[in-house]
Amino acid sequence: MDNLFELNNIFCILLVAMSMFAAYLLSKKTLQQKTYYKEIIDNSSNIVIVHDMKNIVTANKTFFHYFKSYKNLKDFTHTHACISNFFEVEDGYLTPPEDEASWIEFLVNFKDKKHKVKMKVDGEIFYFLISASLLDKKKNIYAMILSDITEQESTKHELVSLSIKDKLTNIGNRKYYDDILNEHITLAQRYPHVFSLVLLDIDFFKKINDSLGHDMGDKVLQEYTNFIGHHLREVDIFCRIGGEEFVLILPHTSKDKAYILTQKLRMLIQNHKKIVPITMSFGVVQYEKGDDAQTIFKRADMALYRAKDTGRNKVIIG
């Protein structure tokens, strides 16, 4: 599939070089030839753009299949100098550039590598393989080819999402927790990155399963994980690591601030009383120099054990 995209891009670039270059740079070409090549490019399924480092010079018809709200190129360039205005920030994809020149030159200088972009156009997300080729060095004329890989990327994201989510509660699973925790530990080892780890556990959950059945237990897990999720910050990571055992990774949060947050959470859970009233116990620790995934978890687990051992429904800092 990747080789097919590469051949397709090479073919399109050759066509661009023959047509767009001819239309804008080689005045000796006949009008009939220019029209012929332009028709071929207009019928390409890829977006084909010619750029002069300041503005888009021309684009094929496929361009307007995606940018439907613009009647013509003049309408588009009135508000946008380049398609990079539509780039979305996400790991693994080209980020919105500070200036057009550096971005396009980067594609040309590293054309041996595959580059992908995520774009949001009129509220819809698209993914493209993107490449650029220099047409005229003196006049800074470049051709850019964008091949739609939205279906493939969406499928990949869905598979990744399934691999890191707990099937019952739809929050992060143990694998996701392990990966994210190691990322934060690495950050904390290299930079002044503060974060806290919180273990939380439903008190007497076994009694719910034994007396009301596992189906009711599952409903309790779903209800309260959804409830907790609504009361967390956007940056917080919430995962299920066991039957009724959960973990929170709180970035940029000291243990004292984590204590305040979890105390509020504890009270909210106690007062929620949906499906079956429950309480939860919490063990809170902050990353310390020299910690690894095992040591920080062990300290949080010991704090949680003390919360359980001293009456439950409480928060203990380790």
Q: Which residues are catalytic?
A: 244
Residue 25 is encoded by which pair of tokens? Answer: 């740079």
CA distances from 146 to 59, 63, 102, 296 (A): 11, 9, 18, 46
Count the residues in the chain.
Answer: 318
Cβ atoms within 10 Å of 123's Cβ, excluding its own: 5
- Compute φ and ψ for 273, nearest 5 degrees: 55, 45
Asked whether 306 and 316 are in contact (CB, 8 A), the reply is yes
Distance (Å, whole) CA 100 – CA 111 = 17
Residue 100: its H or E element: helix 100-109
Q: Which residues have C-beta within 8 Å of that of residue 149, sequence separation ≥ 6?
A: 5, 116, 127, 128, 129
CA dihedral 6, 7, 10, 14 (to 10 degrees): -160
CA angle 248, 250, 252 (to 5 degrees): 170
Asked whether 270 and 313 are in contact (CB, 8 A), the reply is yes
Asked whether 91 and 126 are in contact (CB, 8 A), the reply is no
CA dihedral over 68, 69, 73, 76, signed as positive or negative: negative
Residue 180 is encoded by which pair of tokens? Answer: 């994210």
